[in-house]
Chain A
Amino acid sequence: ETGVTQTPRHLVMGMTNKKSLKCEQHLGHNAMYWYKQSAKKPLELMFVYSLEERVENNSVPSRFSPECPNSSHLFLHLHTLQPEDSALYLCASSQDLPTSGWSDTQYFGPGTRLTVL
């Protein structure tokens, strides 16, 4: 679909589990993003990374821990989640941060559907 892949596509976990979501982009982009999409709510930005450095943390609870080991990979580590964290988690990338003057266009992965029991 796009040059951004996400694994797994579906995940069911208990509240005491630890799991990780993985995102990989094959577009040579420098910026990567995690979004949360819940039913009947706008897309919520969680984290922004530029060249492996976190540049924005949008008041996300500490049970979500991002990691960006290089500009092509982005992880979201999950620990002791709550049922209300069930949602579609979307990863996106862009050429660079919008304020750099590059295109604002973001390229999204297919998402991970997370269910917390």
Chain B
Amino acid sequence: SQQGEEDPQALSIQEGENATMNCSYKTSINNLQWYRQNSGRGLVHLILIRSNEREKHSGRLRVTLDTSKKSSSLLITASRAADTASYFCATRDQGAQKLVFGQGTRLTINP
């Protein structure tokens, strides 16, 4: 069953601007991850945030998690053309063995 739902489905911004994507989910989770996928390629892991964490940084990426609202956001600062890709959140329920992925946000960075 689908767990994470990303918002917006598509986002187009100018190079240098910040991009924010959101993910909502329905159940109690152990952790939430963000992945990137370039067109027709495999997914690449970006960052993992555990249910007891509220914010995490990795380079130009900032992820927040609000378990009371069952939502997460991914912020990419100072965007570059190479950031053009689809971004997926994935959640794992407490005690579950599998990740459940959302449908993704298609991000386009215009030069």
Contacts and interface: CB of A to CB of B under 8 A. Distances in A.
Interface of A: 1-2, 4, 6, 40-43, 45, 48, 55-56, 58, 88, 90, 92, 97-99, 103-111, 113
Interface in B15-60: 30-31, 33, 35, 40-45, 48
Interface of B: 2, 30-31, 33, 35, 40-45, 48, 88, 92, 95-104
A108 B43 CA distance: 6
A105 B33 contact: yes
A104 B2 CA distance: 18
A90 B38 CA distance: 13
Given A1-B41, A2-B42, A98 B96 contact: yes
A87 to B, nearest CB: 11
B101 A98 contact: no
Contacts of B102: 42
Contact of B42 (A42, A55, A58, A109): A109
Given A43-B101, A56-B97, A97-B97, A1 B42 contact: yes
Contact of B40 (A40, A56, A103, A111): A111
B61 to A, nearest CB: 15
Given A1-B42, A2-B44, A104 B103 contact: no
B7 to A, nearest CB: 14
Contact of A111 (B2, B41, B101, B103): B41
- Among A42, A98, A106, residue most surrounded by chain B Cβ atoms (within 10 Å): A42
Given A105-B48, A106-B45, A111-B41, A45 B2 contact: no
Contacts of B104: 42
